[in-house]
A and B are shown apart, each in its own frame.
Chain A
Amino acid sequence: MKYLHEAVIIAAVTFAAEIIKFFIPLPVPASIYGLILLFVLLKSGVVKLEEIEHVGGLLLELMPLLLVPASVSFLTVLDTIQEVLLPVLIMGFVGTSAVMMITGRAAQALVRRGGKEKKT
């Protein structure tokens, strides 16, 4: 029953996150509230890592598969997107690449500098 115990805890956190979302009228998904909530629970020791590790690990591993329906829903907006297709495509390919590289380089510059400071 180890897995059921883990599943119930994760379901409870998800439920609590949905309740928080119901009461806070911000454009923030329940998953972000839940992410913060579960982190606080882990950090404070209310929930032990061992209590959610297996089912949590499974959910993490399956995440790309869970995103397939959202990706496929692209089919439903094919008509609306046509007039802005070019900017969307450019931002999708070039923009995403640029943001990823710039973020990585900027963070790396700081991490390296931090590393050097510690040595001296």
Chain B
Amino acid sequence: MKDMFAACSFFGLLLAAGSYQLARIINRRVGREICNPLLFATLCCCGVLLLTGTEYEVFYENGGRVLEFFLTPSTICLSIPLYKQFILLKKNAGAVLAGCAAGVLAHMAGCVLMLVLFRMDGAGYISLLPKSITTAIGKGLSEELGGFPAITMAAIMFTGLFGAVAAPGLLKLAGVKDPLCQGLAIGTSSHAAGTSRAVEMGEIQGAASSLAIVVTGLLTVIAAPLFAGLAG
């Protein structure tokens, strides 16, 4: 069956887009969001690949690449909500900076805790440091500091997926009701994947989350080398 998939240039595209749309249809039928489209599509794709013994490369070459191709322009377009909400963000510049800084520090502290608790080896610990930021910065940073980029990538993806799925529930639990703060929280903790959810929650959330990706990315690039020094 995998030879057949390898010959179909629309296999990956249809599998990803089809399962994504299926989740949306299920949600519309039920009347509320019971299955997150990103999570559902990821599970469907992984399931089909594992069950049919198809390699990831086949999925990627036959459609996955096309989807990923549009990720850069899509991320660039996050400047649209940023532009629309600029006055609000500028007015709250202090909250933006302090929120992102608090998040980055909390994350670094968590990594140090993991280092001590699990007696992790240095490279493994360093691989965790950039896990809350956008993949491309995180991967580069991990390489630069001497971590395992593959682990960083996996941790980033996992973080983003979890953030995108759990954001509304977690924010409700923490009593974060202000749309600006919701956006900052999502962007700081779970980068672009979380932001894709923030955009769905509202324009202010989307704008704040987009800004948080940039601010958190910069803060992490500054803070991670300092914390990487702790790996003995």
Minimum Cβ distance to chain A for residue B124 (Å): 4
**CB within 8 Å of A: which B155-176 residues:** 155, 157-164, 166-167, 170-171, 173-176
User: How many A-B residue contacts, CB cutoff 8 Å?
Assistant: 327
**Given A49-B80, A65-B67, A70-B68, are A35 and B75 neighbors across the interface (CB < 8 Å)?**
yes
Q: How far is the CA of A76 from the CA of B55 in the complex (A)?
A: 9
B38 (CB) vs chain A CBs: closest residue: A64
* Interface contact B73-A92, CB-CB below 8 Å: no
Are A67 and B178 CB-contacts (below 8 A) given A34-B72, A98-B110?
no
Interface SS majority for chain B: helix
Q: Measured between C-beta atoms, what is the minimum distance from A70 to chain B in Å?
A: 6
**1/0 per residue A94-106: CB within 8 Å of B?**
1111111111111
Residue of B nearest to A31 (CB): B75
How far, in angstroms, from A81 to B153 measured CA to CA in the complex?
A: 10
- Cβ contact within 8 Å between A92 and B106: no
Query: What is A's interface to B at a CB cutoff of 8 Å?
Result: 10-11, 13-14, 17-18, 26-32, 34-39, 42-43, 49, 52-53, 56-57, 59-77, 80-81, 83-84, 86-108, 110-112, 114
